[in-house]
Chains A and B, each alone.
Chain A
Amino acid sequence: DQQVKQNSPSLSVQEGRISILNCDYTNSMFDYFLWYKKYPAEGPTFLISISSIKDKNEDGRFTVFLNKSAKHLSLHIVPSQPGDSAVYFCAGVDSGGSNYKLTFGKGTLLTVNP
């Protein structure tokens, strides 16, 4: 059972434009969500997170939106830069659980073209 789904395996965007990465989840117990970026041969790097009590969180070029009723979140990158090219993972956490487990989606490969 895939509790976090990233339905687009890849996304290609022109430099300077907006990148929108989408994520859907099925576990209604998730109340904390994170986005990670991963380059080849490196571990995931934390980008931004959002608690379920919010619907938006912004950090520089990165904004995460959460729609709890739709069980959907998205990451917006504006403006996109070639260095943003990487695999992006979203993850959900059930904070009421005792294990702090991140449940990851399978990732979306973002390519930003110069």
Chain B
Amino acid sequence: SQTIHQWPATLVQPVGSPLSLECTVEGTSNPNLYWYRQAAGRGLQLLFYSVGIGQISSEVPQNLSASRPQDRQFILSSKKLLLSDSGFYLCAWSVQGFNQPQHFGDGTRLSIL
């Protein structure tokens, strides 16, 4: 069966520090991969999605970037964190194609001080 791993579960970082969140998927090949964020009091917002290695699409302009160095690895990064980057970050995967449900990891709670 397929599984998705996200780490760390919680992270506290100072403003201006770099960020790297990692997500890996097991049990499937060539998945679509996604990064979402939930800011306090708001719904889930799609940040990035990827349909293949090295293929990244950004949904909203922001202080973050994403990379997909391997088929089942998706990384969310920042060179310098802002206070507004605080939130709950979720990675998800889906089978390629239309009308495929997305399956989420357990998320990372990021607090910027």
Contacts and interface: CB of A to CB of B under 8 A. Distances in A.
Q: Do A and B come from one complex?
A: yes
Interface in B83-111: 90, 92, 94, 98-107
Interface residues of B, number: 24
A61 interface: no
A49 B107 contact: no
B43 A43 contact: no
B90 A102 contact: no
Contacts of A89: 44
Interface in A86-103: 89, 93, 95, 98-102
B99 A95 contact: yes
B51 to A, nearest CB: 9
Contact of A46 (B9, B34, B101): B101
B69 to A, nearest CB: 21
B59 A99 contact: yes
Contacts of B63: none
A104 B44 contact: yes
18 contacts: A2-B43, A4-B43, A32-B98, A36-B104, A43-B92, A43-B104, A43-B106, A44-B44, A44-B104, A45-B104, A46-B102, A49-B99, A51-B99, A89-B44, A93-B99, A95-B99, A101-B59, A102-B44
Shortest 7 CB-CB distances between A and B: which pairs? Answer: A43-B104, A46-B101, A101-B46, A104-B44, A43-B106, A104-B43, A32-B99
Interface of B: 6, 9, 32, 34, 36, 43-44, 46, 49, 57, 59, 90, 92, 94, 98-107
Interface of A: 2, 4, 32, 34, 36, 41-46, 49, 51, 89, 93, 95, 98-102, 104-107
